[in-house]
Amino acid sequence: MEKKIPTNTITRDIKDLAAPTGNIYETVVILAKRANQIALAEKKELAKKLEDFRGERDTMDEVFENKEQIEISKYYERQPKPDLVAIAEFEEGDLYYRVAQEDGAA
């Protein structure tokens, strides 16, 4: 079953987001790191798919006329943004994170 992730930004209660960590700033850092991971993975996946379309004679006319390449790009544009995916994973408890322990030496 595929998760329903909104494609538009929605208003959320900041207290609900901060509840799992007890600190909204820790939550924001966790979400930012996860969103960056998702964005990097999507970028690599898209680059791999578009690599097939690179030819020795890439001209501007060929690039604009390649409908398959355009469809692949449009597909990725319609996907939920990485930050929205990260928030959905966090809210559903699907996101694993851990807080680094501080050294006890003073």
Q: How many domains, in total, are found in the chain? A: 1
State the pLDDT confidence band at 100, using cuts at 50, 70 and 90.
confident
- Rounded Cα gap, residues 80 and 6, in angstroms: 7
State the pLDDT confidence band at 1, using cuts at 50, 70 and 90.
very low
For residue 82, give its domain range. 14-91
Residue 80 lies in a domain: yes
Closest among 85, 106, 98, 103 to 31, alpha carbons compared? 85
pLDDT tens-place string over residues 41-99: 999 998 888 887 766 555 655 555 577 878 888 888 888 999 999 999 999 989 888 87
Residue 4 lies in a domain: no
Residue 3 lies in a domain: no
State the pLDDT confidence band at 28, using cuts at 50, 70 and 90.
very high
Residue 5 lies in a domain: no
What's the length of the chain? Answer: 106
Residue 61 lies in a domain: yes
Residue 104 lies in a domain: no
